[in-house]
Structure 1
Amino acid sequence: MKHLALAAAFTLTSGAAFAGPQYLDQTGYAASGYDVVAYFSLEQSEIGQSQPEAIPGKADLTAEYNGAKFAFSSPENLEKFVASPEKYAPQYDGHCAYGVSRGGKVPGNPHLWRIVDDKLYLNITKQVVGFWEEDIPGNLSLAENNWVGIEPDAASDIQVPKFTSPAPVK
């Protein structure tokens, strides 16, 4: 399995055009060590309802992308990510989508997620999710316009409020 992870790291870093700095919390993993591919197999809740819990990745199933380590819950999810990382990586380098719509980079909470048009978006707090969901298309339009100007800025270095992210499961 280590060889697969090393091959993934080489494949994803050789010659790739990277986005801005990825948000990483104290775990050192993108999306706090949760499996970004697994979100796409979870049933999304209706607007205004809490989403299902994120699925933790495993420390021995990892790949590098955009200068960050991503963890996965299964070899199949790791393979899917390696084949198409841009499809599965959270938008805005793992920063809060609503924060980007307002012109800044703040952390994304892996438990506050939504898939829109086959892309994964994270937000920072439940209250922010409410603002985000009031007008997802409008907020996405604002975020896309803002992202061009703030993408090269340094990644957020603050922690998600009231969130303790475990390291990926061994």
Structure 2
Amino acid sequence: MTAQRQERNGGRSGVYFRPGIALITLLASLLSVSPGDLGSSGFTAKAATTERVVANRFSGLAIEGYDPVAYFVDARPMLGLPEFEAAEAGVVWRFRNEGNRASFVAHPDIYGPQFGGYDPVDLARGVTVAGNPRFWLISGERLYLFGREEHRGAFAKDSELLLRRANSRWPALEQDLAQ
């Protein structure tokens, strides 16, 4: 490289900043985002689907930070608070208050979503799809989360059959998730 070219490029020998390439790279990364990755307010985090319990892969929060006990106590999904957290099954759970946290810690198998938060309708089909904490149902005193709202309706209509199928497939699917 000549001395003039080095001076023009800020004295960086062999290193060139090319704004056109940087812009193309930025645009390519933005265009590679699928529509499912976009929420109404921009990007949303995806739930991990390689773990036994569904957790946000960025925050480590189970069921997107919703309080699992609130589904039973308040009959609706409610976001937990950072000051009331507990670690269980390798993920962080949030709660609305200390009472909900204590109830969960004493009985995570009762208050935690069944199948680790995976959609039982999809499990019955043999696939693991993360449940959405906004699509839920308590059946047989257990919490179930669904990936799609229509799955909640299908489950409510024939929960016995779907649970029998999901329960028979869950051990193998859960084993695959752990690997």
Task: Give the TM-score, by structure 1 length.
Answer: 0.70
Q: 2:129 aligns with which of 99, 106, 109?
A: 106
Q: 1:135 aligns with which of 147, 152, 158?
A: 158
- C-alpha contact 1:62 1:72 (8 A) present in aligned 2: yes
2:71 maps to which residue? 39
2:104 maps to which residue? 81
Letter paired with 2:63: A
1:22 maps to which residue? 53
RMSD over equivalenced CA pairs, Å: 1.5
- C-alpha contact 1:109 1:122 (8 A) present in aligned 2: yes
Letter paired with 2:53: Q
Gapped runs of 5+ residues in structure 1?
A: 1-19, 44-51, 156-170
- C-alpha contact 1:27 1:33 (8 A) present in aligned 2: no
| Greater mean deviation of Cα atoms: 146-155 or 73-82 | 146-155
Higher relative contact order, chain-length normalized (CA < 8 Å, sep 6+) = 1
Larger helix fraction of residues: 2
Letter paired with 1:123: F
1:115 Cα deviation from its structure 2 partner: 1.0
1:87 Cα deviation from its structure 2 partner: 1.0
Structure 1 stretches of at least 4 aligned residues deviating more than 6 Å after TM superposition: none
- C-alpha contact 1:22 1:93 (8 A) present in aligned 2: yes
Aligned residues: 127
1:42 Cα deviation from its structure 2 partner: 3.2
| Greater mean deviation of Cα atoms: 73-82 or 133-142 | 133-142
Task: Give the TM-score, by structure 2 length.
Answer: 0.66
Distance 1:126 1:86 in 2: 24
Larger Rg: 2
Correspondences of 1:1-170 after superposition (within 5 Å):
21-25=52-56, 26-43=58-75, 52=76, 54-154=77-177
Gapped runs of 5+ residues in structure 2?
A: 1-50
Distance 1:31 1:134 in 2: 24
